[in-house]
Amino acid sequence: MIVIVMGVSGSGKTTVGELLAERLGCGFSDADDFHPAANVDKMRAGIPLTDDDRWPWLKALRQAMDDWQAADESRVIACSALKAVYRDVLSPKDDVVFVYLKGSAETIAGRLKARKGHYMNPNLLTSQFAALEEPADAIVVDIAPPPAVVVDHIMTQLDARGDHQEKRRT
């Protein structure tokens, strides 16, 4: 099972994703690690990425996902996956569970201002919300509670969908 924890920068994807992977007993990856250096440089400079910038990144991430699935490895991935077309690239066979971390721009802006050591320029939050196409078929979780509670909500919804039990068999 592949679970993509998605949302705008500052929504808690990495924190929640790591906790979720621990709870599921599987590996964790951050999609940011798959960006080429040029993308990181643009984001650090406050320049929004274009779709042309994102295609190689998304394809590299999907290749890694194919490799994990071929090795029968479950994985939680933190990835913005803001647009439906990006999610289509990441899940061409409808073989991924998306978890959307939903929060207000005000809450997330506060988190970004407090964050240290991340290359994502907080000024890009507006462009991320502008690009965001909320998913219709994802598990949607409010980010206001503490991360452990957010993970509890995700686990409850995975259990209700039968996805968690499927992971336990793999």
Cβ contacts of residue 121 below 8 Å, gap of 6+?
43, 44, 45, 46
Q: Which CATH number does the domain housing residue 86 bear?
A: 3.40.50.300
d(CA 136, CA 43): 28
The confidence score (pLDDT) of residue 147 equals 96
Please state the domain count of the chain.
Answer: 1
Nearest Cα residue to 45 out of 154, 127, 153: 127
d(CA 133, CA 156): 24
Token representation of residue 60: 């590299």
The tens place of each residue's pLDDT in the chain, 170 residues long, gives 999 999 998 899 999 999 999 999 999 999 989 999 998 888 778 787 888 998 999 999 999 999 999 999 999 999 999 999 999 999 988 889 999 999 988 888 777 766 655 445 556 677 788 889 999 999 999 999 999 999 999 999 999 988 654 444 33
The confidence score (pLDDT) of residue 162 equals 81
Cβ contacts of residue 50 below 8 Å, gap of 6+?
none
Start-to-end Cα distance in the chain: 8
| String of DSSP letters for 140-165 | EEESSS-HHHHHHHHHHHHHHHTHHH
Range(s) of the domain holding residue 126: 2-169
d(CA 160, CA 15): 23
Single pTM value for the model:
0.86
Q: Strand, helix or coil at 134?
A: coil
